[in-house]
Structure 1
C-alpha cells in the first residue's frame, strides 16, 4: 500500500431501491445500456447481452468479444437456476513443445508458472485461446431472449463508433501496460500515442481524447446483422483467425467453427439457511462450495461479522484452495496482479436474474489486436501450467480452468441475489464473504458491499482490510501471516464485486465502492 494514501477519506455508493429492473456493472454506461433494455420490457438476458457488448467496448482491457467466461441465470418463470459455461479452450493445432521453459524461474504475470521462452504463453498471438463469450451470449439469447438480437448489440456499435473516452482512469490502466502494448503495432495504434503514452484528455476535461474503435464497430455490426455465430462460422471469424496466424498464433477458423458454449445443471448446495447455485466444472464454483461448507462448521452469533466469523471464512477458503491447487491443477496467481476481468449482474422487474463474469485473462489479454476485426485478443493459454504432466498442463484443444465465480443465492424472507466479481484468485474470497454476510447476518446488499473483507487466495498470506477492527486482525494473526492494506481504486488488493438483490418485489444493486466507473442503474434512470 502506498504510504501517501489518505487514511481519513471514505467512499460510499448509493443503493437504489425499485420495483423495476436493476443492472450493476463495472462501467456505468454499460449498466445504463442494460437498464434501457429493461425499461422497454426486455428480459434480464436481453439486458445482459447489451451490457456484455457495451462493456467490451468501454472497458476493453478487461473483456470483449475475443474473451470467455461463465453465466449463472435465475429463471423466475421456471423457478430454477441454470448455468452456462462459455470459457476458452486451447486451439487444436497448439503444440506444447512450442512453449519451452526458459529455465529462469517463475514468470511475472498473473500466475507463478515456470517462465516460458519469450513469454509465449502470456504475450502475443501464441497466447491466444479460442474465445467463447459471443457464442455464450447467443445461446442464452436464443433460449431466453425476447428482444431482437440486433437491437441488443446496437448500443455497443454506437459506443464503438464514438470511441471510448480516455479519462484519467482509462489512461492509468493503459499506462500500466504501455511497454507490452507497444510490442504489437495494432495494439499500439489503438491505445498509445507515438508508441509510448496513452491517449488522454486534458486535465481540465475541456479536450476529449477517444479511441478509434471504428474497426470494432464494423465487426460488431456484422455480429448484430448475422448473429453470434458470425464470429465463428463466417468471414469475421476467418479474418480474426488469419490475423492471429499471421502473427504466429495457432487459432484457426476450424477452432471457431467447432466451439460451442454449454448449458449445465448448476452446482447447487446449501449454506446455513441459504441455497446457492454456481457454475460447475472448470470454474471456481466447486471451490466456493468447499469454502462455505467448511465455514458452516462454525456456529456464528452476533449481529455483524466479528473475529470468529472471519476466522471461519479464512479456514474455509484455506481448505478450499488446498483442494483446488492440488486436484484442479491451478497452482496460483500473483495476489497483487492488475485486475483482468469484469462482472455484472442483472435483475428484471419479474425477478429473472443474470450473473455474468467475462474476461480476457490478463489485463489487455495477449496485448495483441486483430487488425481485421478491431478486437483485443485474450491470452487464455496462460491459464495452463507450461510444465508437462500436471492436471492443468498445456495441451491442444483443452478447456481452460477459470477463476470465475458467478453465483445465484436463495436466502430466507423471499430474498434472492446474483453476485460475482473480477480479480482472479481474489474472486472466490469476495463471493464467499459477500454470501456469508447475507446468509449469516441478514445484510442487505449495501451493507454487504460496504463491509470490509479479507482475501485468502491459496498463498501463505491473508490480506486484511485495515478498516477491520483490531480484534479481527489480532485473531487472524494468531493463525496466519496477516498483511493489512487500504481499500483503494488502483490497484485492487481485494476483488471488485457487482451484484443485485431482490427481496419480495423490490430490487437493489451495488458495485465495488472503490470502483470509479462501477455503478448500479435502475431501468427508469435516464442517461
Structure 2
C-alpha cells in the first residue's frame, strides 16, 4: 500500500455565506449564468434550466441536449419535494441481433460487459439512445418556472455563438478520447487539430482558441423560438434523426414523439432530524437509502465503507449489475441551486461516456449519448439489452431537509457517484461538519473490487481499511477523479452557501450578484 505522496502542496476552496441564491456547478461560467438568472428575479428552477443548457455548451463532452438525467426539486412554500426523471431509453427499432458478442472478456469503456463486435454498444451511432434532457427541462419549466423559456436559453446560445475557450483542461479531456473522436470527422472538426491533436491555445496563454459551437448555437436559437417540442416533433428532431440514421443508428422520429419526462414521488427517508429526498427507481437513490439503513449513527470511515459495500452488493443482487470501473473518467455534469427563498434543485445530466458515443449530429451541432452501453449485452440478465426500455442510471441527485435549512447535493463520476453523495451527506448530518469542512474531508470509493482511499486519510484509518479490503491509496489530483466530482448548496439559518469538488479546476459555486 503506497502512502508516500508529497504533502507540500494543498488545494482548497472557500465557502462564503450569503442571503442571496447560489449555484454550484462543474463550470464557473455555467454557475455565473444561473446566478445571474437569480439576480434578475428568477427562482431556483429558472436558474437550473439556464445552467443546464449552458453546461451543455461549456463542457459538451459531459452532458447536453443529446443526453438525459434526473433532478430533485424542493419547493420551500409547499414544504414538498419532487423527483423528475428524464433518463434515456433504447430505440424501439433496436435489434439485439445487431450487437453480437465477440467472446472477449469485457468491453473497452466504463462497463465490464462481454465485448460486442466493433463496440457497437459503446461507440458510434449504434450506441445512441433516445435523449431526454430537453424534455426534462421542458417539464420542469412548465410546472415551476417563472421566466420565459427563450430567455433561459439565451445565455447558453450567446456562449455557443462566441465559442467556449479551449484551455489546458479541455485539451486534457479531449486527449483522453482523441482516438475515438477522430473516427467521426464531424466531431473531430470541432475538437481536434488536423483530425489528431486537441485544440488548445499557447501554453503561455497566447493564441487562445475557441471551440466552434455554431451548430449548437443555431439549434438553441430554434429551440428557444419554437419550443422544446421541436426537439421531439419538429425540424431539430428530424435533423438529428437523419444524422444518427445516416451514421448507422436506429433512432427514429417515433422514438422522439413517444418520449416523455416524468415526475415521481421522491424516495424519502429520515436520518436523525434530517429528511432525505432522492431519486426512486433505476437510479442510485435506493442504494443511498440502503447505505443509511446499514450505517450506525456517527459511523467512522471503516463503518461507512462497510455500509457502502453492503449497499453496493444489495444493488447488484436486486437491481442488476451495472459494473462501472474506477479507471475511466466521470462523464456527467451535476449542479445544485438554491434561491433566496430556500427553493433547491439538484440536477444530474449526462451523455454517459465522456464525449458520449463520440458521434456528432452534424446538422444540429449536438454530441450524442451512448446510453445503449448502460445495458448488459448478454441475454438473460436483469439489465439485458432490449428495445424501448429505460436505461439503468447511477445518478443520485439528492436534497436533505434539516431543522436549520437543508442541502442539495449530487456528483458526476459513474458508479462512484453514490459513494461521494453518501459520505458528504454523512459528514453533514452525523458528523456535524460545515459544508466547507465536508468537501475538504478526504474520501474513499468502494464501488469496485478494490477500495480506493485518499492518501490524506489518517494512517490509522488506512491501516484499519487494509484489514478488511484490498486498498489502493491515491492522491488528490485534478485528473482523474478517483472519488467522483460533487457539487452542493446549503441553507443554514436563512443564509445560503455552495461548494464544489476541491480538485476540479473549472467547478465553482457562484452567489447571486447584488442588485
Residue number in structure 1 paired with 2:311: 320
Whether the 8 Å contact between 1:46 and 1:152 is mirrored in structure 2 is: yes
Q: 1:481 to 1:241 in 2, by over 3 A?
A: same
Q: 1:65 to 1:5 in 2, by over 3 A?
A: farther
Residue number in structure 2 paired with 1:352: 343
Structure 2 residue matching 1:104: 3-state secondary structure: coil
1:330 corresponds, among 321, 338, 350, to: 321
Q: Quick one: distance in 1 between partners of 2:7 and 2:360?
A: 40
Q: 5+ unaligned residues in a row in structure 2: which ranges?
A: none
Structure 2 residue matching 1:260: 3-state secondary structure: coil
Residue number in structure 2 paired with 1:375: 366
Pairing 1:483–2:456 present: no
Q: 1:170 to 1:6 in 2, by over 3 A?
A: farther
Q: Quick one: distance in 1 between partners of 2:94 and 2:437?
A: 47
Residue number in structure 2 paired with 1:386: 377
Structure 2 residue matching 1:426: 3-state secondary structure: helix
Structure 2 residue matching 1:501: 3-state secondary structure: strand
Whether the 8 Å contact between 2:108 and 2:119 is mirrored in structure 1 is: no
Query: Residue 237 of structure 1: CA displacement?
Result: 0.4
Q: Deviations over 1:397-449 (max 9, x none)?
A: 0100000000000123x220000000001000000010100111211211111
Residue number in structure 1 paired with 2:397: 406
Q: Deviations over 1:203-239 (max 9, x none)?
A: 1212111111111100000111111221111111011
Task: Report 1:217-256 matches (<5 A).
Answer: 217-256=217-256
Residue number in structure 1 paired with 2:85: 85
Whether the 8 Å contact between 1:96 and 1:394 is mirrored in structure 2 is: yes
2:431 corresponds, among 433, 436, 441, to: 441
Task: Report 1:225-304 matches (<5 A).
Answer: 225-295=225-295, 298-300=296-298
| TM-score with structure 1 setting the length | 0.96
Residue number in structure 2 paired with 1:502: 491
Q: Quick one: distance in 1 between partners of 2:5 and 2:461?
A: 23
Q: 1:196 to 1:6 in 2, by over 3 A?
A: farther
Q: Deviations over 1:289-323 (max 9, x none)?
A: 1011101xx243xxxxxxx5112211111111111
Q: Deviations over 1:105-158 (max 9, x none)?
A: 111210000000000000000000000011100110111100111010000000
Residue number in structure 2 paired with 1:210: 210
Residue number in structure 2 paired with 1:94: 94
| TM-score with structure 2 setting the length | 0.98
Residue number in structure 2 paired with 1:14: 14
Q: Quick one: distance in 1 between partners of 2:6 and 2:97?
A: 50
Residue number in structure 2 paired with 1:429: 419
Structure 2 residue matching 1:151: 3-state secondary structure: helix
Q: Quick one: distance in 2 between partners of 1:159 and 1:5?
A: 40
Structure 2 residue matching 1:16: 3-state secondary structure: coil
Q: Deviations over 1:370-420 (max 9, x none)?
A: 0110000000000000000111000000100000000000123x2200000
Structure 2 residue matching 1:440: 3-state secondary structure: coil
Q: Quick one: distance in 2 between partners of 1:377 and 1:340?
A: 13
Q: Quick one: distance in 2 between partners of 1:157 and 1:124?
A: 26
Q: Deviations over 1:335-354 (max 9, x none)?
A: 12111001000000000000
Structure 1 residue matching 2:316: 3-state secondary structure: helix
Q: 5+ unaligned residues in a row in structure 1: which ranges?
A: 301-307
Residue number in structure 1 paired with 2:130: 130
Q: Quick one: distance in 2 between partners of 1:89 and 1:330?
A: 18
Q: Quick one: distance in 1 between partners of 2:189 and 2:276?
A: 45
Q: 1:122 to 1:3 in 2, by over 3 A?
A: farther
Residue number in structure 2 paired with 1:493: 482
Q: Quick one: distance in 2 between partners of 1:123 and 1:108?
A: 10
CA-based RMSD: 1.5
Residue number in structure 2 paired with 1:303: none
Whether the 8 Å contact between 2:405 and 2:494 is mirrored in structure 1 is: no
Whether the 8 Å contact between 1:416 and 1:503 is mirrored in structure 2 is: yes
2:450 corresponds, among 448, 451, 461, to: 461
Q: Quick one: distance in 2 between partners of 1:519 and 1:107?
A: 34
Whether the 8 Å contact between 1:487 and 1:494 is mirrored in structure 2 is: no
Q: 1:195 to 1:235 in 2, by over 3 A?
A: same
Structure 2 residue matching 1:509: 3-state secondary structure: strand
Structure 1 residue matching 2:263: 3-state secondary structure: strand
Count, aligned residues: 515
- Which consecutive aligned stretches of 4+ in structure 1 deviate over 4 angstroms post-superposition? 1-6
Query: Residue 38 of structure 1: CA displacement?
Result: 0.1
